[in-house]
Amino acid sequence: MIHVPADTLRSLVTNIYIALGTPDDIARLVADTLVEANLAGHDSHGVMRTLQYIEMIEKGVIQPAARPSILDRRGARAIVDGGWGWGPPAAFLAAQTAAELARAKGVGAVTARRTNHVGRIGAYAQAIARAGQIGFILANVGAAVTPFGGRQRLMGTNPIAWAVPRAAGHEPLVLDFATSVLAEGKVRVAKDKGAPVPPGVILDSHGQPTQNPNDFYDGGMLLPFGGYKGYGVSVMVELLGGALSGSGVSPSPKYGGGNGTLVLALNIADFVDPAEFETDVEDYVARLKAAPTVDDVAEVLLPGEPEQIARRQREVEGIPLPEVTWEDLQAQARRLGVG
């Protein structure tokens, strides 16, 4: 592992995306979203994705110059068309539009279709919460997860995220996770390291439990988190993210890849006195932080706190990257004449 400063990574990948035909502002936004995922400790959704994205651009899956647009806006809802460009600008447009609608109408609901991979979805809920509202987002993605009790890939890793603002000076509470036991990117990391995945994460192509990450790529499948409950959540993500956005549920021929997305924003002042809400949030946070802990646990963490801890550390120490990933990124920059 080597440690690379966030700014170095930001400018390296920005330049790669510009060299591939991405407008400067979009290249900066995408690079920033990836580096933010690394800073948050979610390397599976960080700059290592660049190599996969380059391939997707070169195969015509990502149209690097496409800009997302609002296809239609009525009442408290809007529909974003990603135009099969980069995912993050489409998801930020959906989040920003949901927040605008919520300011005007109390709630905002925005779907996004024709949207490539949007990455760490917590970023978009967090953007809404930083603007003082409650944010919620879910997204379906290519089928890789079996239903509870089944042995066939019929759901994506289908992430969901909520973000709730806190008092001034505090980052929002952010809960953001895949509805599979483990995000697919983390199975890939284990495969690349030649390490086993923990028990209870994947089944092989015959439906047998296995810890060998290669079995997942040989036709195996991930398990949903939380047994039938996580399975049910994932079904709802397929229907609200995939069907409602017009993107299609992931195992259907209609689904064309990427993330079928739904974003919701709630304007707190339209529900309760914001000062009262803030007092309740801070009171509850104080109770959580004061909870007695079990052996080996120093303190109860809030949703979003592990990411803040990772960020503080990585801003100082740099972002840890496998040497091969760092070399691959530099080689791509040289190939494209920007390294």
Shortest distance, position 126 Cβ to ligand NAD, whole Å? 10
Contact 136, 100 (CB under 8 A): no
> Which tokens is 128 given?
């809404």
Q: Which is nearer to ligand NAD, 42 or 314 (CB)?
A: 42
Shortest distance, position 4 Cβ to ligand NAD, whole Å? 20
Q: How far apart are the first and last CA of the chain?
A: 21
**Total number of residues that touch ligand NAD (CB under 6 A):** 26
Q: Does 114 bind ligand NAD (CB under 6 A)?
A: no
One DSSP character per residue, 269-297 reads GGTS-HHHHHHHHHHHHHHHHT----TT-
Shortest distance, position 179 Cβ to ligand NAD, whole Å? 8
Site string for ligand NAD, 73-112 (x = CB under 6 A): ----------------------------------------
Q: Does 187 bind ligand NAD (CB under 6 A)?
A: no
Shortest distance, position 306 Cβ to ligand NAD, whole Å? 5
Binder of ligand NAD out of 42, 49, 113, 114 (CB under 6 A) = 42
Q: Please choose, out of 28-36, 108-116, 163-171, 302-310, the segment that lies near ligand NAD by the rule CB under 6 A.
A: 302-310
Q: Which is nearer to ligand NAD, 218 or 299 (CB)?
A: 299
Label residue 119 exposed, middle or buried (CB < 10 Å: 0-12, 13-18, 19+).
buried
Separation between Cα atoms, residue 48 and residue 35, nearest integer Å: 10
Q: How many CA atoms lie within 13 A of 118 on its CB side?
A: 34
> Which tokens is 35 given?
């580096």
Task: Give, as one character, the DSSP assignment of residue 145.
Answer: B
Q: Which is nearer to ligand NAD, 17 or 124 (CB)?
A: 124
Query: Closest by alpha carbon to 243, among 156, 184, 117?
Result: 156
Strand 260-266 and strand 202-203: pairing? unpaired
Helix (H, G, I), strand (E, B) or coil at 4: strand
Binder of ligand NAD out of 45, 49, 153, 314 (CB under 6 A) = 45
Binder of ligand NAD out of 46, 147, 224, 303 (CB under 6 A) = 303
Binder of ligand NAD out of 36, 43, 81, 176 (CB under 6 A) = 176
Q: Does 30 bind ligand NAD (CB under 6 A)?
A: no
Binder of ligand NAD out of 4, 16, 29, 178 (CB under 6 A) = 178
Shortest distance, position 11 Cβ to ligand NAD, whole Å? 23
Query: Closest by alpha carbon to 128, among 79, 165, 170?
Result: 165
Q: Does 224 bind ligand NAD (CB under 6 A)?
A: no
Shortest distance, position 139 Cβ to ligand NAD, whole Å? 6
Shortest distance, position 259 Cβ to ligand NAD, whole Å? 5
- How far, in Å, are 17, 230, 233, 261 from residue 147 at the CA level? 37, 9, 11, 21
Q: Helix-strand-coil percent breakdown of the chain, rounded to 5?
A: 45, 15, 40
Contact 128, 134 (CB under 8 A): yes
For helices 87-105 and 24-39, angle between their N-to-C axes, nearest 10 degrees: 90
Q: Does 119 bind ligand NAD (CB under 6 A)?
A: yes
Residues that bind ligand NAD (CB under 6 A): 42, 45, 117-122, 139, 141, 157, 159, 161, 174-178, 183, 186, 259, 301, 303-304, 306-307
